[in-house]
Amino acid sequence: MLTVGFMTTYAFSGVTIPHSFSSGTQAKSSEVNANFQALATAVNAKKRLVLKDSGGNVLGDISSTDSPISLIMMNLTTASGYTVSIFNASPYVFVAPLYFESADCSGTPYLSSSGLIPMLGRVFYNDGNYYYFPHNSAPASKTMNSYSTSGACTASTGTDNFLLVFPNNQNVTSFSNAFNYTTSTIAYE
């Protein structure tokens, strides 16, 4: 296994590396190339790159990454088609401020839709909870009087297009509120 990020690992089950090398022994290029070919064959034979929880349950398909080596950020597509942007640093899931029509961050939460229209159907994180906005969300022009992020409420008035958001519901998004990045693994299936 190759360790990636923090505790996240790539799992290639059933891969046989044909040649082993030891310190002080000269490696032949043909043997090194054969090892790389064995890995490439195993990777190419797999259809999906997925993220699994500690119990081996598939959380979703990894649909894109910032880099196939570092995996600092990846987009996960759940079984319900929701996108979750996952990072290898706490809080691990894309954080977005929640906006409120009240001045004290109470009432119905909204998300600014600026730049988000192509990303309908997304799960995100704020103040210790996961939220989502549905695939069929339609932005509406609203005036907001406060926003909340990182546990702090800030009074601020502004008008923009906003999406109504909901507390995450695993039955809708297929994304668990108990998600734990540090015990998840990346695997080919």
Residues 120 and 84 in one domain: no
**pLDDT in the model for residue 1:** 36
Q: How far apart are the first and last CA of the chain?
A: 15
**pLDDT in the model for residue 80:** 93
Which residue range(s) make up the domain with 16?
2-90+176-188
Tens of pLDDT along 51-63? 888 888 888 888 8
**pLDDT in the model for residue 30:** 85
pTM for the full model? Answer: 0.69
Tell me how many domains the chain contains: 2
- Distance from C-alpha of 83 to C-alpha of 43, rounded to nearest angstrom: 24
Residues 60 and 106 in one domain: no
- Cβ neighbour number for residue 132 with a 10 Å cutoff: 24
Residues 130 and 169 in one domain: yes
Sheet holding 9-11, edge to edge: 2-3, 9-11, 185-188, 49-52, 58-65, 73-77, 83-87, 122-126, 129-133, 166-167
Tens of pLDDT along 132-169? 988 888 889 999 999 998 789 999 999 999 999 999 99
List, for the chain, all residue ranges whose pLDDT scores fall below the cut of 50: 1-12
